[in-house]
Amino acid sequence: MSDKKYYCGIDLGGTKIYAVIADENGQVIANYKQKTKKSDDKSDQTTNAAETIIGRLTDCYHKVIENAGIDEDDIQSVGIAVPSSVDITKGLLKYAPNLGLENVPIAKLMKEQTGKPIFVDNDVNMGIYGEYTLGAGKGYKHIYGLFVGTGIGGGYIVNGEVIRGVNYTAGEIGHMVMKIGGPQCNCGRQGCLEAIAGKIGIINYMKKKTADGKTKTMLDEVAPNWRQSVGSSALSKCYEAKDKVVRKAIKKSAETIGIACANLINAIGVEAIIIGGGVVEEMEDIFMPIITENAKKYSIAGGAEGVAILPAALGDNSVALGAAWFTALPENKKFLL
Amino acid sequence: MSDKKYYCGIDLGGTKIYAVIADENGQVIANYKQKTKKSDDKSDQTTNAAETIIGRLTDCYHKVIENAGIDEDDIQSVGIAVPSSVDITKGLLKYAPNLGLENVPIAKLMKEQTGKPIFVDNDVNMGIYGEYTLGAGKGYKHIYGLFVGTGIGGGYIVNGEVIRGVNYTAGEIGHMVMKIGGPQCNCGRQGCLEAIAGKIGIINYMKKKTADGKTKTMLDEVAPNWRQSVGSSALSKCYEAKDKVVRKAIKKSAETIGIACANLINAIGVEAIIIGGGVVEEMEDIFMPIITENAKKYSIAGGAEGVAILPAALGDNSVALGAAWFTALPENKKFLL
């Protein structure tokens, strides 16, 4: 045991688990990654998905400490971010269908495994908290974060406090209705932001545009399976090559995200909006100007003046680092379990 | 001068100025009303609209004290609510086009007139503050208020703090885009909440439905000028009489307000939403069930559970009483000018 203090953060994602160690300055000194699901998971799932996940989280915890070359005794606390709403008072993951998890007392189980104080929260909350404390949101107090991937997640901070909402479901801006009667969303409703502007929305728009069988897109060559799923880099490549279908889809996505930003500015008067997530990070130069232009255009007179609309700055680290750093700050001690 | 303490609140509206005196328990003990504009105002406006308004506010201040039968020395402070964004640190009304006012230092001018500590804020902020402290919002800490009239105004409170936004423009939920490419709004944009669900939106919808010249509505008899403006009571009467055009318009309005509530629940996880304003107050039994149903329907799973969606409780008093009571509470002393 040294006199140094370190904090572990673990980002439990649908495809990978990503862990970091942060030092006392919020610097990432090591990371470790493994797949969330493995090829032999079928048998696991029928037995106990929660047990399997806890095993992997614990494995990541040990491996990232090993990578950092530090003494486990110097780890002060562990922050865990999960793709679910979380009752943070109990460290209880409520519902993560694509991990097969429901009502899992992550904090209790990980405390048994590590012996450390634990904090568990929603991944996007921790991502925006990371950006707020160490990234693009530094210096702002009233911030909304919008993370654009397959869907669109959000996180909200007022006066330095993460607003989780009465049911721990705040931040679901992906399901803000932007177009009543608009495109079908996976949630069963219509016109949700992510059904227009998330990768789901982008794909659906392109499917519609090419449905006549005559309209072609470069994606047919670059990413032949694009109708099922498409990487952000393939979209970026086709956009740069001036593919009309991709250009229109991306512009529509960015415009709609911009209007969603205006909705936040108009309704709650945020100081800063941080935009992150794979899709935007890959095409930042394309997305950010269109988002900013539309956020201004759709805000009421004077409303958007001085409002910062910024790309996220922490990249892949934001969620895990946010979770680690949340546990490091004295004002959050009361939340550790 | 007695040992009793009283607080004056004045609601400066587009058509009337309404003043109240509140006692130490937040009870309204007297009120006074006069028209904002008088028939001889044409000459006033060309000379000095601000001077005229300050004269009338001062007049209301003296008259309501007279009505209360109290000693002016017992008035501790005056809260003034105006239909404009306000820089509360300066008591500066920024822009109220339909009163012909711009950049008027209301606090300074009213302090000269009354000698009392003054606080000036946006009217809807004070309305929701009134509901939060003394009305339907009592006991909740994270509240959005939505006031439906010709347009739709909003106010937002987090942890007891009125959130005014970086440009003092928070609460403009009337311009939340609910339907991209939807009905034209007076703000110049399309698909704003108030363009669908405010009285403006209701009228426009009915105009469209009757544009064929064949579709009839009872309003043609009840309120022949309905295409220009229509009272809430006329709408209510025709709704009760099962007029199809009015029924559809009101239902569409209520549904859309419900979806806007869901947008707030999803994005920011509010504990309570208070719905007020003339239109809803006149037809509370019609509006509230439809609003509640749609707020639940469009919220993500579990998001609306336990969220209170309540009609405003203070009626015409909410804004003036909210302004008076804001100045009465110790935690707001720092805001008085």
**pLDDT digits (tens), chain A, 337 positions:** 788 999 999 999 988 999 999 999 999 999 999 999 876 655 445 458 899 999 999 999 999 999 999 999 999 999 999 999 999 999 999 988 878 899 999 999 999 999 999 999 999 999 999 999 999 999 999 999 999 999 999 999 999 999 999 999 999 999 999 999 999 999 999 999 999 999 999 999 999 999 999 999 999 999 999 999 999 999 999 999 999 999 999 999 999 999 999 999 999 999 999 999 999 999 999 999 999 999 999 999 889 999 999 999 999 999 999 999 999 999 999 999 9
Residue B161 CA: distances (Å) to CA of A171, B108, B165, B235, B331? 20, 24, 11, 36, 10
Please indicate whether, in this complex, the C-beta atoms of A266 and B163 are within 8 angstroms of each other. Answer: no
**Closest residue of chain A to B294, computed from CA coordinates:** A189
Please indicate whether, in this complex, the C-beta atoms of B270 and A166 are within 8 angstroms of each other. Answer: yes
Chain A within 8 Å of B98 (Cβ-Cβ)?
no
Measured between CB atoms, which of B144, B176, B269 is closest to A163? B269
Residue A326 CA: distances (Å) to CA of A48, A81, A189, A320, B8? 30, 11, 34, 10, 45
Task: Using pLDDT thresholds of 50, 70 and 90, give the confidence band for residue B47.
Answer: low
A275, A291 contact by CB (below 8 A): yes
Chain A within 8 Å of B163 (Cβ-Cβ)?
yes
B312, B145 contact by CB (below 8 A): yes
Choose from B93, B298, B305 for mutation: most chain A CBs within 10 A. Answer: B298
CA angle B93, B95, B98 (to 5 degrees): 115
Q: List CB contacts of B333: < 8 A, sequence separation 6 or more.
A: none
User: A207-215 — which CB contacts under 8 Å span 24+ positions?
Assistant: A209/A245, A209/A248, A209/A249, A210/A245, A215/A245
Location of structure tokens 């009361």:
A334
Please give the Cα distance from A335 to A58 (Å, whole number).
Answer: 21
Q: Residues 38-77, chain A: which have Cβ within 8 Å of B?
A: none
Domains along chain A with CATH numbers: 6-129+317-335 (3.30.420.40), 138-313 (3.30.420.40)
State the Cα torsion B256-B320-B329-B158 to the nearest 10°.
10
**Closest residue of chain A to B252, computed from CA coordinates:** A180
Please indicate whether, in this complex, the C-beta atoms of A267 and B172 are within 8 angstroms of each other. Answer: yes
Measured between CB atoms, which of B144, B154, B179 is closest to A180? B179
Mean pLDDT score across all residues of chain B: 95
Chain B within 8 Å of A115 (Cβ-Cβ)?
no
Please indicate whether, in this complex, the C-beta atoms of B268 and A268 are within 8 angstroms of each other. Answer: yes
Q: What percent of chain B has pLDDT over 90?
A: 91
Identify the pLDDT of residue B109.
Answer: 98
**What DSSP designation does B300 have?**
P
Task: Using pLDDT thresholds of 50, 70 and 90, give the confidence band for residue B2.
Answer: confident
- Give the number of beta-carbon pairs within 8 Å between A and B: 169
Please indicate whether, in this complex, the C-beta atoms of A176 and B266 are within 8 angstroms of each other. Answer: yes
Identify the pLDDT of residue B44.
Answer: 47
Q: Could you read off the pLDDT of A111-144 as tens digits, one per residue?
A: 999 999 999 999 999 999 999 999 999 999 999 9
Sign of CA pseudo-dihedral A83, B309, B138, A272: positive
Residue A132 CA: distances (Å) to CA of A86, A143, A195, A324? 20, 8, 27, 13
Closest CA to B98 of B149, B59, B63, B62: B149
Please give the Cα distance from B315 to A109 (Å, whole number).
Answer: 52
Chain B within 8 Å of A259 (Cβ-Cβ)?
yes
Measured between CB atoms, which of B163, B187, B302 is closest to A167? B302
Query: Quick check: B166 pLDDT over 60?
Result: yes
Rg (CA), chain B: 20
Please give the Cα distance from A328 to A23 (Å, whole number).
Answer: 9
Query: Quick check: B48 pLDDT over 50?
Result: yes
Side chain identity at residue B208, one-letter code: K
B206, B245 contact by CB (below 8 A): yes
Please give the Cα distance from A253 to A31 (Å, whole number).
Answer: 32
Sheet of B272-276: strand order equals B161-162, B152-158, B142-148, B272-276, B308-311
Contacts of B142 in chain A (CB under 8 A): 163, 165-166
Please indicate whether, in this complex, the C-beta atoms of B268 and A156 are within 8 angstroms of each other. Answer: yes
Identify the pLDDT of residue B139.
Answer: 95
Identify the pLDDT of residue A280.
Answer: 95
In B126-236, beta strands by DSSP E? 142-148, 152-158, 161-162
Contacts of B304 in chain A (CB under 8 A): 167
Contacts of A86 in chain B (CB under 8 A): none
Query: What is the least distance, in Å, from the CA of B176 to any CA of chain A?
Result: 5
Contacts of A172 in chain B (CB under 8 A): 266-267, 300, 303
What is the CA B318 to chain-centroid distance, rounded? 8
Q: Which two tokens stand for residue A194?
A: 């992510």
Please give the Cα distance from A329 to A24 (Å, whole number).
Answer: 10
Sign of CA pseudo-dihedral B23, B27, B29, B32: positive
Query: What is the least distance, in Å, from the CA of A277 to any CA of chain B?
Result: 17
Measured between CB atoms, which of A167, A303, A304 is closest to B303? A167
Please give the Cα distance from B250 to B203 (Å, whole number).
Answer: 10
